[in-house]
Amino acid sequence: MLMTAFGSFLSLLYLAMLVLAVVALVMAALYRDDAYRAADKQNKGFWLIILGIAVAVNLLVPILFLQIAGLIATIVFFVDVRPAVRQISGGGFGRRHRGSSSDGPYGPYNGGR
């Protein structure tokens, strides 16, 4: 019973690592290439290759060491690269920044001044 529960837990853990890597790969593909250079990070191709390898390892290779290496690369993308690239590209996947949250339909709200 305990071994079955542990096996189920590991299966869920492997699935979570795979889903996280796939989401990171899709996000890396959607950001513009020049945003990576402007954020002073590795280029888009580098991150697509690294995250693609992480997805492939999670799908094909049942070696925990390689899966952990892919998880570390995925975490680095989410914690370091994605915020920097997102800030440069205006908060979206290739979209232009549309202004401040205090902007109204006719320009910025100035508090009645």
Percentage with pLDDT > 90 across the chain: 50
What Cα–Cα distance (Å) separates residue 91 from each residue in 20, 35, 68, 77? 20, 11, 29, 16
- The answer to whether the beta carbons of residues 82 and 32 sit under 8 Å apart is no
What integer pLDDT is reported at residue 98 of this predicted model? 54
What integer pLDDT is reported at residue 30 of this predicted model? 93
108 DSSP β-pair partners: 103
- The answer to whether the beta carbons of residues 94 and 32 sit under 8 Å apart is yes
More confident residue, 52 or 108: 52
Q: Against a cut of 0.85, is the pTM above it?
A: no
